[in-house]
Amino acid sequence: MKNSDQLPDAPIEPRLQGKTESEQASGLPQALGAYLIWGLLPLYLLLVSTVHPMEFVAWRIVWTVPICLVIIAAREQWPELKVALSNRKTLGWLFVSASLIGFNWIVYVWAIQTDRVYAASLGYYINPLLNVLLGTVFLKETLTRNQWIAVGLAAFGVALLAAGAITTLWVSLSLAFSFALYGLVRKQVAVGAVPGLTIEAMLLIVPSIIIAAYFAATQGSAFFVSPQLSIAIVAGGVLTAVPLLLFAVAARRMDYSKLGFIQFLAPSIVFILGLTVFKEPLQPVQLACFACIWSAAALFAWDLLKRSRKSAN
């Protein structure tokens, strides 16, 4: 979905060098477009709410492949795709990342379909903070004092949920950890966002076809229920590839710190949808947890902007 469906592999799509401030700012519409699509994704999932999460994700993967190939053709990225496909180490890493993102998609779709919208939102509030923490452990990056405080606030919020025995805590942590680990793995792979997603979908297409065939044999294929549902399922591939392309463009044109700030837009939209459209009750312990996460996110974003301004001066 960002949801998962937001791919943090900016080093593979290098930012444009030597651009003016106005040219760099031109990445803002693409960033807003990507995170708006990811934030509004629960509304789309209402259209496919009758489809089992496993079957839907299988069809999503199947239709992501041709759509990504069209984008690769338009961007003339065939050489990059060919190089990645011929490298066993790259394929191995992409198999791991494909498994992580497939799991992430299944949990996210299940959460939305079963009215765990707040849990999904919380997972993606935690995600950027978890990215920072994993960066210190595995990439030997350093945290500022404010970032450590932000991570501590987030951890306290999660602890509140655990102490309150909230049964959806595993959803938030599964989404946050699977996507954070996905981003960490993708940083090890020298392949761009769209070619990488194409290969990931190709690696998963055989099990996806098997899953789709299983549901067709046991329950009847959701893809052939009605033309409207078929179109909605195909749209899953579009909604996977298009925001990724927008994100890749934004990552090249914007400071990554500013892009990280905009990342909080998607879970904020999901939270509002949970409150207004899905009418999910908000428990006091959940509200307390969100207050901690929002405070951590605000501190994290403020610290990023402050350091970005210092480096610009």
Averaged pLDDT, 218-245: 93
Q: Which residue has the higher pLDDT, 165 or 306?
A: 306
Bridge-partner residues for 4, per DSSP? 2
pLDDT of residue 166: 67
pLDDT of residue 268: 93
Averaged pLDDT, 283-292: 90
Lowest-confidence region among 15-24, 119-128, 159-168:
15-24
Q: Which residue has the higher pLDDT, 311 or 68?
A: 68
pLDDT of residue 9: 42
Averaged pLDDT, 280-297: 91
Averaged pLDDT, 180-207: 90
pLDDT, tens only, 146-190: 889 988 998 898 888 877 756 788 999 999 999 989 988 888 888
Nearest by Cα to 282 from 168, 146, 125, 131? 168
Lowest-confidence region among 18-22, 179-183, 242-246, 275-279:
18-22
Cβ distance 224 to 55 under 8 Å?
A: no
Mean of the per-residue pLDDT values for the chain?
Answer: 86
Averaged pLDDT, 23-39: 81
Cβ distance 175 to 107 under 8 Å?
A: yes
pLDDT of residue 12: 39
Predicted TM-score (pTM) of the model is 0.84
Token pair 């299940």: residue = 110
Give the Cβ contact number of residue 24 at 10 Å: 16
- Percent of the chain scored above 70 by pLDDT? 88
- pLDDT of 302 higher than 90: no
CA–CA gap between residue 205 and residue 65 (Å, rounded): 8
Averaged pLDDT, 83-112: 95
CB within 8 A of 66, min separation 6: which ones?
237
Give the Cβ contact number of residue 15 at 10 Å: 17
Q: Which residue has the higher pLDDT, 25 or 11?
A: 25
pLDDT of residue 158: 87
* Residue 278 tokens, joined: 């899905």
Lowest-confidence region among 32-36, 37-41, 304-308:
304-308
Token pair 């595993």: residue = 170
- pLDDT of 18 higher than 50: no
Token pair 């680990």: residue = 181
CA–CA gap between residue 108 and residue 116 (Å, rounded): 9
pLDDT of residue 31: 87
Q: Which residue has the higher pLDDT, 9 or 148?
A: 148
Averaged pLDDT, 83-97: 95
CA–CA gap between residue 41 and residue 156 (Å, rounded): 28
Positive or negative: CA dihedral 95, 201, 246, 252: positive
pLDDT of residue 258: 67
- pLDDT of 121 higher than 70: yes
* Residue 189 tokens, joined: 């792979």
- pLDDT of 24 higher than 80: no
